[in-house]
A and B are shown apart, each in its own frame.
Chain A
Amino acid sequence: MRASLPKIKTPYLLLFPGFAFLFIFFILPIINLAQTSTQTPIAGGDTGQNEQTFAFSNYINAFIENREQFGRSFVYATLATIFALAIAYPLAYAIAFKSGKFKNILLVLVVAPFFTSFLLRTIAWKQILGEEGFVVPTLRNLNLMGQSTTITSTSVAVVAGMTYNFLPFMTLPLYASLERIDPRTIEASGDLYANAITTFRRVTLPLSLPGVVAGTLLTFIPAAGDYVNAAILGSPNTKMIGNVIESRYFKIVDYPTAAALSFTLMAAILILVTLYIRRAGTEELV
């Protein structure tokens, strides 16, 4: 009897700091955000002064007004995820199976960009892809690009920036699941007369799926809410929903719309991710 009571309590005590953290820094702000999202400006009040009127129409208005940026966010995030997967899969595969003694160095190289700030790296890309950087004049001289065509301020630059910035988030989970594959399963496939393509399709790929799911989620979710790449590498015609939320919050000082948009974005991501996980299966995710 005496021993069982602490036994029951211990896990809760251990969980307490985590729960307290989540409560203060996640649950409370979410409640606050939810309250703000249904407010309307006080009649005759000053900029940024709102009152609770349970105006759920804020959600509809916010969505209708900004559906274009919503659409763009999901298209860009999807493209960046696909490109990141296309680049990261061979990379992770090579590191896991073919790198030999260079494995650790290559892994460090994948993580190395994190040693510099996300912002600085994006600004560097702006310079590299800018009019007087290295890339644009070279492509123009080779006649691969028109004299008036530019790279920065286009959707190409935004998607490229996102792909680059989220690449490590794709590579690392892929590497982790590829590395765990027992090489004997691949040998066995060869013994059963499967060629390389069949082996990849029937053995390696299915076994690495948890990595693919984890990697795509880790890329897609932050990419959909990203606004830094669009702000630095894009133009007014490539603004994403994150830019709208930022402008509503900081520029227009329209907190209710900003909050409603944030909730809508969260809900949209949640729905998409749920559908995706249902389809891809999560049993092996953890």
Chain B
Amino acid sequence: MAKERSLSAEAGSILTSGISRRAVLAGAGGLGAVGLLAACGGGGDDAAGAGSVRWGNWPLYLDFDEDSKTYPTLEKFKTQTGIDAQYFEDYNDNDEFFGKVQAQLKLGEDIGYDLVSPTDWMAARWIRLGYTQKYDLTNIPNHVNILDSLKSPSYDPMRESTLTWQGIMAGFGWNTEKNPKGVRTIEDLFSPQNKGKIVVLSEMRDTIGVILLSQGIDITKVTEDQYMNAVDFMAKKIADGWIRGVKGNEYAEDLTSGDATAVIGWSGDMFILASENEGKFDFAIPESGGTISGDNLVIPSTASPEGKANAEKLINYYYDPVVAAEVAAYVNYVCPVKGAQAEMEKIAPELATSEYIFPTQVTSSRLSVFRSLTPDEETKWAEAFQQAQGN
């Protein structure tokens, strides 16, 4: 039962623990020093001419130190291995990124990245089209650390060319001043105080997924009719002036600027917003259920052997539970690495019990994965979703 104006337990714990992104990073900095010493003792010889790796990832998806403007865990990786890891926060949208690099992938020309982070369904498309390279698992001994529940997705049952970077829950996010009672059902979302100030995700599977779930439909088996019906529902809400925009990561800006008061959004973003704005925002999995998906570490077919090997080392590094916990403490998304919860106990015990980072069985049972679509469906459904938003 939600108390009035109360935050969810998780958001509350993030705030009351005094853990800010900065505080977490100060902790990480301490670990960093240890890591540095270890590096000096060991891999010094490898450092010279270890080459580089170019990683394209979503924004706000890696621990970042505001003061030094660096990514602490990535800096540590660079020092440990001597590999020049270049990090680009320019993976903003699955479709958009695919549209940008597809022609080069087709021609086998370098796309400028050795590691990219497509979401499950997009990773599936990359694999289908032969745009990925299989891992050399001897370079990634830590791959065994992946959570059992993520071990064999349908698109890559042996996890030969994908490993989850973070898991993402989609649900309702809201401004706690405008929605003191919280937003837990679709009726709460479309309640009068939010009219014209609702923003939903441009990630079709998340937005339509949440709507479908609210209609009592199982998204692991959704039919075309059910899907189109949910798209019509969204189109109607847009036409009637309820929904202000359909956006990617930018929905966070709309929340902070006051242009949006309630959203269908992503868990991690919402917790970062909450901690940056003193509890002005909150997130919950809808009572009718939320969606879960994963972003994957994928090596493009166009990466050079050196880039590939370095990308594998980087993946291995981030599958170390210690490092995974540091990242999770910052990004607040579902951590895919076994043992990270125990490590989290050491750096931020409050977060170690967060359902949104380390979901329990009960929480997991409230989340579903949108079923995979055939290429025909992918085009047709995407078209309907785009047309509903005026495109």
Q: A-side interface residues toward B, CB under 8 Å?
A: 41, 45-48, 65, 69, 126-127, 130-133, 148, 150, 152-153, 235-239, 243-244, 246-254
For chain B, which range describes its interface: under 10, 10 to 19, 20 to 34, or 35 or more residues? 35 or more
Interface of chain B residues 63 through 105 with chain A (CB within 8 A): 93, 95-96, 98-100, 102
Check if A130 sits within 8 Å of B375, measured CB to CB. Answer: no
Check if A153 sits within 8 Å of B375, measured CB to CB. Answer: no
Check if B391 sits within 8 Å of A47, measured CB to CB. Answer: no
> B129 is contacted by which of A46, A132, A239, A251 (Cβ under 8 Å)?
A46
Complex CA gap A69/B387 in Å reads: 11
- Is B22 at the interface (CB under 8 A from chain A)? no
Check if B196 sits within 8 Å of A237, measured CB to CB. Answer: no
Chain A residues whose C-beta falls within 8 Å of the C-beta of B378 in the assembled complex: 47
Q: Are A153 and B383 also in contact (CB < 8 A) when A47-B125, A236-B389 are?
A: no
Complex CA gap A126/B257 in Å reads: 9
Complex CA gap A46/B128 in Å reads: 8
Minimum CB–CB distance from A225 to chain B (whole Å) comes to 15
Q: A133-B257, A250-B98, A251-B202 are in contact. List 14 more A-B contacts (CB 8 A).
A: A47-B379, A69-B391, A131-B197, A153-B245, A236-B238, A236-B243, A237-B239, A237-B390, A238-B390, A243-B390, A248-B391, A251-B95, A252-B382, A253-B382
Check if A251 sits within 8 Å of B386, measured CB to CB. Answer: yes
B388 and chain A: residue at smallest CB distance: A236
Interface of chain B residues 118 through 134 with chain A (CB within 8 A): 125, 128-129
A253 and chain B: residue at smallest CB distance: B99
Chain B residues whose C-beta falls within 8 Å of the C-beta of A148 in the assembled complex: 195-196
Complex CA gap A243/B195 in Å reads: 24
Check if B257 sits within 8 Å of A250, measured CB to CB. Answer: no
> B99 is contacted by which of A65, A153, A235, A249 (Cβ under 8 Å)?
A249
Complex CA gap A251/B239 in Å reads: 21
> A152 is contacted by which of B100, B246, B259, B383 (Cβ under 8 Å)?
B259
**A–B complex contacts, Cβ < 8 Å, 24 sampled:** A45-B375, A46-B129, A47-B375, A69-B390, A127-B257, A132-B258, A150-B196, A150-B259, A235-B245, A235-B390, A236-B238, A237-B239, A243-B391, A248-B386, A249-B99, A250-B93, A250-B95, A250-B98, A251-B95, A251-B96, A251-B391, A252-B383, A253-B99, A254-B379
B384 and chain A: residue at smallest CB distance: A252
Q: B-side interface residues toward A, CB under 8 Å?
A: 93, 95-96, 98-100, 102, 125, 128-129, 195-197, 202, 238-239, 241, 243-246, 257-259, 375, 378-379, 382-383, 386-391
> A130 is contacted by which of B125, B239, B257, B391 (Cβ under 8 Å)?
B257
Minimum CB–CB distance from B153 to chain A (whole Å) comes to 19
A126 and chain B: residue at smallest CB distance: B257
Minimum CB–CB distance from B44 to chain A (whole Å) comes to 43
Complex CA gap A148/B375 in Å reads: 42
Chain A residues whose C-beta falls within 8 Å of the C-beta of B128 in the assembled complex: 46
Minimum CB–CB distance from B51 to chain A (whole Å) comes to 32
Chain A residues whose C-beta falls within 8 Å of the C-beta of B391 in the assembled complex: 69, 239, 243-244, 246-248, 251
Check if B386 sits within 8 Å of A252, measured CB to CB. Answer: yes
Complex CA gap A143/B375 in Å reads: 53
Check if B258 sits within 8 Å of A131, measured CB to CB. Answer: yes
Complex CA gap A37/B239 in Å reads: 30
Chain A residues whose C-beta falls within 8 Å of the C-beta of B259 in the assembled complex: 130-131, 150, 152-153
Check if B390 sits within 8 Å of A236, measured CB to CB. Answer: yes
Minimum CB–CB distance from B260 to chain A (whole Å) comes to 9
B129 and chain A: residue at smallest CB distance: A46
Check if B125 sits within 8 Å of A46, measured CB to CB. Answer: yes
Chain B residues whose C-beta falls within 8 Å of the C-beta of A237 in the assembled complex: 238-239, 241, 390
Q: Are A252 and B96 also in contact (CB < 8 A) when A46-B128, A243-B391, A247-B386 are?
A: no
Chain B residues whose C-beta falls within 8 Å of the C-beta of A46 in the assembled complex: 125, 128-129, 375
Q: Which of A130, A248, A252, A254 is the most central at the interface, judged by chain B CB atoms within 10 Å of its CB?
A: A252
Chain B residues whose C-beta falls within 8 Å of the C-beta of A152 in the assembled complex: 259
Check if A251 sits within 8 Å of B390, measured CB to CB. Answer: no
Chain B residues whose C-beta falls within 8 Å of the C-beta of A65 in the assembled complex: 387
Complex CA gap A278/B259 in Å reads: 45
> A250 is contacted by which of B96, B244, B383 (Cβ under 8 Å)?
B96
Complex CA gap A238/B238 in Å reads: 11
Minimum CB–CB distance from B204 to chain A (whole Å) comes to 9
Minimum CB–CB distance from B252 to chain A (whole Å) comes to 14
Sort A-B residue pairs by CB-CB distance and give the 6 closest, nearest first: A131-B258, A239-B390, A247-B391, A250-B99, A236-B390, A132-B258
> B379 is contacted by which of A235, A236, A243, A253 (Cβ under 8 Å)?
A253
Complex CA gap A249/B95 in Å reads: 9
Minimum CB–CB distance from B319 to chain A (whole Å) comes to 30
Complex CA gap A246/B389 in Å reads: 13
Complex CA gap A252/B94 in Å reads: 11
A247 and chain B: residue at smallest CB distance: B391
B378 and chain A: residue at smallest CB distance: A47
Chain B residues whose C-beta falls within 8 Å of the C-beta of A45 in the assembled complex: 375
Complex CA gap A148/B239 in Å reads: 17
Chain B residues whose C-beta falls within 8 Å of the C-beta of A243 in the assembled complex: 390-391
A136 and chain B: residue at smallest CB distance: B258
Chain A residues whose C-beta falls within 8 Å of the C-beta of B389 in the assembled complex: 236, 239
Check if B390 sits within 8 Å of A131, measured CB to CB. Answer: no
Chain A residues whose C-beta falls within 8 Å of the C-beta of B379 in the assembled complex: 41, 47, 252-254
Minimum CB–CB distance from B41 to chain A (whole Å) comes to 46
